[in-house]
Structure 1
Amino acid sequence: MSYTTAFLPDYLTQYYPLIIVCILLFIAIILFSLSKLRMDIIALLTITAITMTGVLTPAEALSGFSDPNIILIALLFVIGESLVRTGISYKMSEYILKIAGQNDIRIITCIMLGVALLGSVMSSTGVVAIFIPVAISIANHTGIHVKKLMMPLCIAALISGMMTLVATAPNLVVNSELSRATLEEFGFFSITPIGIGVLIVGVIYCILTRNWLLTAEQVTPTNIQPQRRKITDLIRDYKLIGRAHRAQILAGSPFVGRTIDGLHLRTEHGVNVIGIERWRKFHKVLIPVNGSTEFRENDILLLDMSHSEADYRTFLTTNNLEPKILRGEYFSEQVKEVGMAEVALLPESTLCGKTLNEIDFRGKYFLTVIGIWRNHAPVETNNLFQERLEMSDTLLVCGNWGSIQKLQTRTNDFVVLDYPADIDDIAPASSQAPAALINLAIMIILMVTGVVPNVVAALIACLLMGATRCIDMANAYKSIHWPTLILIIGMMPFAVALNKTGGISLISEWLEIHLLSFGPYMVLTFIFLLCSTVGLFISNTATAILIAPIAIDLAVKFNYSPYPFAMTVAIATSASFITPVSSPVKTMVVAPGGYSFSDFVKVGVPLTFLVMVVDIALVPIFFPF
């Protein structure tokens, strides 16, 4: 495709491709900041646009799909899911509960150290999803306001990205840029010394500022220390007692051979099927259901309905169903197969304003919503599925534990707030925890020693996780957070395009003229501030993709080592504390912590400057100019 430059002055003709790239980049940043479209959709749109303009060939625009670091990030999601499924992640958080006691300083320290340690080897988004219910549980047990704990949790998750090379995507992006520039890559623990320094400063900062966001009444812990709720408590709190029933499908029932949606049970009868007890070989199991689940003769249905006893009897008679006893401890006895959890809608959730029928919650997530909590009380209605969801709603979902845990990856719409105490001993592969730890250790050893490339080490660990039954293939594929991968792949063409059109050289030349006389420390400061400023509007991963090549090229032109500048980009992109929109880690704690935009600004601005001081002080020591 040829460029159309007739409308440009002669002196701008040579810059036409660069102008196109800058316009597309500006549009992408605007779309990111408006948050009207999903970030992965914006990324795909940029790939399409930059290819259609002819600035990049399709092979160049799609080169991110073959980048080894993209594969590495995907494999790390699988490793993280293996730690969750074997119960390692939960046991670690449970241990924090035991040693933290009632002291808020010790609690904040333990939470931050635990999050940073776990986040060094798995997705920070996954770590936050694990620790949110832990923080809520601690708040409930100690009377400490949850707002006091969620911000340190969020900050520690971001700092965890500075603990190892594989801890967060921006580190791998920076490493990939070093490889692209034919430079030696960072080692597994290259970033760790700086990360430890930042973590120490972060913990001290969070302790000193722990009351900044609280009112006078919230500072002092309350005397109320409720125990962690069980499933029976959730049933009571959401006023579900008397609504649950069991009924067996008899021969000749109109249910036999029909699907749930085909019978229109919700719309015509006000009946919600939560699960089906079905014989498999020599034992009975409770299977999860969705709208396409087909009924069989002798199935025992677990029903949720608010009808009177007379209406319930009429429903059974009409459909040739036989009532079965439902004991109060039924859900506790079935806890290994069916669970409950509270799920809070996030502020930007696409589900707000829609009914449960419209979003087909059961069809999408294989879970049934059996209660809605709104304005400090359960919503009482004869038709829950026609109720329009509001931003502050908390949903009580019921179904398979695996399906409940998968909701943690749906960070754009909601976050799992709390698990009932019944889950404590539930982990799909808890017996394989020792194997998972061995597999994780093998991966780390291979990465540290450099015997094989990092991506191969992660692949070996994933294969071992599968071979030792820590995770199965279905859950391995589902654990990968595809929007994150697509975002990185979609932003990579900008770095390629800026380099191809001379944009990086042009920016570097401008910076060379204005920064050369200031010395390396001032240049390092400028790079950090540039990352922090760009990171206000777009994700930290996209920021790393854009700034890393500029920082490396600038270092080469100044005759400095590129490593301190590349490392500063990695540190600065993880230190995105100021706004809640540039990372899912921050977005996830907004609703549970009850934070406002200004709360992040108040806490984030001073912390960003503190991290910058640590970076400028430590980076030149470990990576001399």
Structure 2
Amino acid sequence: MKLSSIGQELLVLLPPALVEQYQLLIVCGLLFITIILFSFTKLRMDIIAILAITAIMVTGILTPTEALSGFSDPNIVLIALLFIIGESLVRTGISYQMSEYILKVAGKNDIQIIILIMLSVALLGSVMSSTGVVAIFIPVVISIASHSGIHVKKLMMPLCIAALISGMMTLVATAPNLVVNSELERVELEGFKFFSITPIGIGVLIVGLLYCVISRNWLVSKKQIDESQKSPTRRQITDLIREYKLSGRAHRAQILPGSPFIGKTIDNLHLRSQQGVNVIGIERWRKFRKVLIPVNRMTEFYQGDVLLLDYCNSDDDYRNFLNTYMLEPKILRGEYFSDQVKEVGMAEVALLPESSLYGKTLNEIDFRSKYYLTVIGIRRNHAPIEANNLFEEKLQISDTLLVCGDWGSIRKLQTRTNDFVVLDFPADIDDVAPASSQAIAALINLAIMIILMVSGIVPNVVAALIACLLMGLTRCIDMASAYKSIHWPSLILIIGMMPFAIALNKTGGINLFSDLLKAHLSGYGPYVAITFIFLLCSLVGLFISNTATAILIAPIAINIALSFGYSPYPFAMTVAIATSASFITPVSSPVKSMIVAPGGFSFSDFVKVGVPLTCLVLIVDVILVPLFFPF
């Protein structure tokens, strides 16, 4: 007997009249157990979701096709594609630039940062999918938290709240708005206008901003705040500069017309042996932008090149060197190219026991020609070797080498040799964009996606797919990075909860509850009625998606309004507002599911923040909706 048929065999034993009630009890029981597991166990949420799918198939209430339908749901595919879009913005440096701008404006003031993040998310989310906005801003928020020392929870929750509120800003901002609008048109009523919901959305956004500022420390203990403000555990380039005593050695110089450098290679000029000069890299203009050229001994110099130099001798010797070779000194900010960390990187490598490099000097192993990197320091017995002796010193088993050059060459070190191993990349590498040259292309691709989504020329999932293909075509992302960027636990969590919406509808649970509500609302005023509609949406939205909630509740709300002789518009608008205000659990909206892992949230975190905020939005709804849509 198949496992999924066990439930069906049990149902045969029951009278037909009790089958639906039995199934509804089973669904409610499974839903209750799932919520308990989310709340009080240490199991991962995606594991709980898989268990829920399995259990609902075993009962026989849903067929495997129904229970697993989430895997083929266009919204799930859309979320996966938006993760790829977000990673493309990270790889091209756009996310870093956004976080850098917010930090520049707000400094390390957590209140200002929260306000800027929420305003940015609400504005962008008013014209595109809130799920897409969250996918874009998750890496931005992580970067801001890393650089400001603010705990990531304090910023990730406001991001989520602002994304949900952005659904209240315009008619096309979120799917539930369109569902409610189509339901009005289905009963032959005029639909909402593009900005009909905006006044209420602005009111909710103001309340949300104030609430997030007041509640910003609710989810973070004092110990967590102190830990987030400590220095990063990984060393940074500035630490390496200090440990290897590199201060004062870095210079920039431009090749002037007539210079002996022009047309020559590093080998031709014998810079290291005769002048004590290391060329770390070359800044050169290509296609209207400046790029860093990796160097080896055969790299040729051109007029106008700006050289990044490591010079170990005195200042007087350096001035003589510049005059002899007709080079013009250029401004260098920061110690040893630390202000050029996006282009110039460092890493420590340790010699392996079986390395063939032992007993050889750096000149003999010709490190630069093989790896396009320059060894700028050797540390032995926890102390750096003097720079003047660096290239004549024979390598020993305990030596650690510090290499410098472009980040691309540094990343390749891990796979290019059996002689040494990269100990660790400095923390600065996290902010380096491997596809920074494609930033403009990424912005164009993003704009195409937004235009397609706003215009409705193609479905949202098709717009995101087109944007992903364009990202790949313009080399904003590669296949390996695209697959790695998809956060599968978030997708599994959403997929695992979707069968409950099908099961509740199939077993009559939603209809039963709605009929009871309609019977008990008779005789009360319209304010009480829309309050109950809001609470019903909030209750159903604890367990199923806000889109599914809108599909189930919108016709009920409109029917209640018409049967009581009220205008259907305030009731329909209340459904739109309430379904977007699903703050209480992480399982009813992709927006919330997506931030669970990056923010390190628990189920109770959403309850703690979501319940008071939902009550505040209810008050705003009851006050503002009747002002703009009279009963």
TM-score in terms of structure 1 length: 0.60
Alignment partners' CA distance in 2, 1:210 and 1:190: 31
The aligned residue for residue 199 of structure 1 is 205
Q: CA deviation at 1:434?
A: 0.9
Contact preservation (8 Å) 1:532, 1:576: no
- Distance change in 2, residues 1:303/1:179 (3 Å): farther
- Distance change in 2, residues 1:585/1:534 (3 Å): farther
The aligned residue for residue 570 of structure 1 is 579
Query: Secondary structure of the equivalent of 1:56?
Result: coil
The aligned residue for residue 555 of structure 1 is 557
The aligned residue for residue 54 of structure 1 is 60
Query: Secondary structure of the equivalent of 1:573?
Result: coil
The aligned residue for residue 231 of structure 1 is 236
The aligned residue for residue 158 of structure 2 is 155
Structure 1, residues 344-376: CA drift from partner, whole Å, max 9, x if none? xxxxxxxxxxxxxxxxxxxxxxxx997xxxxxx
Alignment partners' CA distance in 2, 1:609 and 1:244: 56
Query: Secondary structure of the equivalent of 2:132?
Result: coil
**Structure 1: which 5+ runs fail to align?**
140-145, 254-276, 287-299, 310-320, 340-367, 371-397, 400-418
Alignment partners' CA distance in 2, 1:57 and 1:215: 45
**Structure 2: which 5+ runs fail to align?**
245-346, 359-364, 385-394, 412-420, 563-567
The aligned residue for residue 495 of structure 1 is 501
The aligned residue for residue 4 of structure 1 is 10
- Distance change in 2, residues 1:13/1:245 (3 Å): closer
The aligned residue for residue 350 of structure 2 is 245
Q: CA deviation at 1:452?
A: 1.5
How many equivalent residue pairs?
477
Matches for 1:19-98 after TM superposition, within 5 Å: 19-98=25-104
Query: Secondary structure of the equivalent of 2:494?
Result: helix
Contact preservation (8 Å) 2:583, 2:613: no
Alignment partners' CA distance in 2, 1:82 and 1:429: 9
| Matching residue's letter, 1:567 | A
Query: Secondary structure of the equivalent of 1:4?
Result: helix
Structure 1, residues 502-560: CA drift from partner, whole Å, max 9, x if none? 22211211111123444554344334445556777x6xxx4537744442342254244
- Given the alignment, which residue of 470, 474, 484 partners 2:480? 474
The aligned residue for residue 284 of structure 1 is 371
- Distance change in 2, residues 1:585/1:59 (3 Å): closer
Query: Secondary structure of the equivalent of 2:160?
Result: helix
| Matching residue's letter, 2:134 | S
Alignment partners' CA distance in 1, 2:234 and 2:621: 43
Structure 1, residues 443-495: CA drift from partner, whole Å, max 9, x if none? 11111111122222111111111111111222222222222222222222222
Contact preservation (8 Å) 1:567, 1:619: no
- Distance change in 2, residues 1:553/1:226 (3 Å): same
Query: Secondary structure of the equivalent of 2:166?
Result: coil
Alignment partners' CA distance in 2, 1:31 and 1:199: 32
- Given the alignment, which residue of 124, 140, 156 partners 1:130? 140
Q: CA deviation at 1:91?
A: 0.2
- Whichever of the two has the greater Rg, that structure is 2
The aligned residue for residue 469 of structure 2 is 463
Contact preservation (8 Å) 2:538, 2:579: no
Alignment partners' CA distance in 2, 1:605 and 1:620: 23
Alignment partners' CA distance in 1, 2:192 and 2:499: 23
| Matching residue's letter, 2:492 | I
Matches for 1:564-603 after TM superposition, within 5 Å: 564-574=573-583, 583=593, 585=595, 588-589=598-599
Q: CA deviation at 1:433?
A: 1.0
Q: CA deviation at 1:93?
A: 0.9
TM-score in terms of structure 2 length: 0.60
Contact preservation (8 Å) 1:544, 1:570: yes
Alignment partners' CA distance in 2, 1:135 and 1:42: 29
Alignment partners' CA distance in 1, 2:220 and 2:46: 35
Contact preservation (8 Å) 2:236, 2:428: yes
The aligned residue for residue 364 of structure 1 is none
Contact preservation (8 Å) 1:85, 1:427: yes
Alignment partners' CA distance in 2, 1:37 and 1:227: 29
- Given the alignment, which residue of 596, 603, 610 partners 2:616? 610
Q: CA deviation at 1:155?
A: 1.8
Identity %: 50
Structure 1, residues 15-37: CA drift from partner, whole Å, max 9, x if none? 22222222222222222223433
Contact preservation (8 Å) 1:524, 1:616: yes
Q: CA deviation at 1:430?
A: 0.9
